Structure 1
């Protein structure tokens, strides 16, 4: 066997024991909510491979269910896809040191003017782990009360449309391809599992293993 851990051009399998250590790292771009870096990573077989990684602040989303079993959705223009999407109330983890639950509570009030009496965790989503550390936590909020929306602070927020859908209608929209936003799809399916008795939500303070930290550290130290 050669020094690069290969034999006849084939890489010896390491069966989950290899350590993918970062050999070098270079920043390509650093913005307000994300950064792009290019890493050289030690690979099985002794070689190296370039991995381009998008760092993200992370985010939270909220499935807000009222007493009539209706879910609160927002219709928001998303520039990268060039159209408006039905989504859950959501927001970035962009305040240094803020607990994700507090972020979710703040965003629910700011975007749709609601507070909730009970909170739990439905799902944690690694959006596209092949190239980004972006992760989102989806909360379930019940016992809703109106608190009033503050003035819009962002351009897209000024154009938001808020609507309540019967939960079964929102679920139909997922399977019909009318709701495609990943946290919304995952959150609604998770609620369906909870309602059917197939699963239980977690504590609102449950551990979030993949919560991103690197981009936040760049911005806030």
Structure 2
């Protein structure tokens, strides 16, 4: 099969999807009842009773999350700026890209990424592209993440009113080459999902065509739109 094939085919008894069919599809099974189990500072812990296609029911607990952005900021020498931050749920100090929450359903993700890059590492970028969109842990949390590639870096002032608190107050800023990060990810030494997905996407895009085929920074984010339509984002 070639990339231009329009429909799936059956090969040796296996369904092989065509390139055009490789897309997740928004879908919502009927919710019979919903209970909020706990309200947190960032996420809401909820439980839904759901009607399954065979007429049965199932109960699912999950976290409603506002979503986030992350940035693989790459300089002219193909070094990536990183922070090292303590993450209490996993009891690790993780090496991570600059990243942050989206504050509300209507917040522009590119503007949020630009803010986080300035807040966390004191940088701005002249060029922004989308590396990858993902659901961080779709079996338990509704968090969608967009990871950007930021280039043409320059120093920037921290936004007015920004104060590092909690874990952020203990972060430091470091740099590493993209090649060394790829080795560390594939070697199982780095675990932050935004870093792992962003670094692998950046390495693939660089090898494929030197980043030429990446989506622009303001590209539509259809998965997040679907979350908003399903009422899974804060107002």
TM-score over 0.5 for the pair: yes
Structure 2 CA distance for aligned equivalents of residues 153 and 23 of structure 1: 42
| Per-residue deviation, 1:35 | 0.5
SS of 2:111's equivalent?
Answer: helix
How much has 1:201 moved relative to structure 2? 1.3
Cα offset, 1:152, TM superposition: 3.3
Q: What residue number does 2:185 align with?
A: 174
Query: Is 2:228 aligned against 1:209?
Result: no
Matched, 1:164 2:179: no
Return 5+ residue gaps in structure 1 as ranges: 1-15
Distance in 2 separating the partners of 1:51 and 1:101: 32
Deviation per residue, 1:90-140 (Å, 9 max, x gap): 000015632000000000000000000000100011111112211100000
Whether 1:118 aligns to 2:131 is no
Partner of 1:44: 53
* Corresponding residue number in structure 2 for 1:142: 151
| Aligned positions, number | 202
Give a deviation string over 1:24-80, Cα, whole Å, max 9, x none.
111111112100111111113211111112100100000000011101111100010
The 1:103/1:51 distance shift into structure 2, 3 A limit, reads same
Is the 1:87–1:181 Cα contact (8 Å) retained in structure 2?
Answer: yes
Partner of 2:198: 187
Residue deviations 1:142-193 (CA, integer Å, cap 9, x gap): 0000114466332211111111111111111111222111111010011111
2:145 counterpart of 1:132: no
1:153 and 2:164 matched: yes
User: Which has the higher mean CA deviation after the structures are superposed, 202-211 or 183-192?
Assistant: 202-211
Give the 4+ runs in structure 1 shifted more than 2 A: 95-98, 148-153, 212-217
TM-score between both structures, scaled by the size of structure 2: 0.80
Aligned pairs (5 A) from 1:14-163 = 20-95=29-104, 97-149=106-158, 152-163=163-174
Give how far 1:209 is off: 2.0
Any stretches of 5+ residues in structure 2 without a counterpart?
A: 1-24
TM-score (norm 1): 0.85
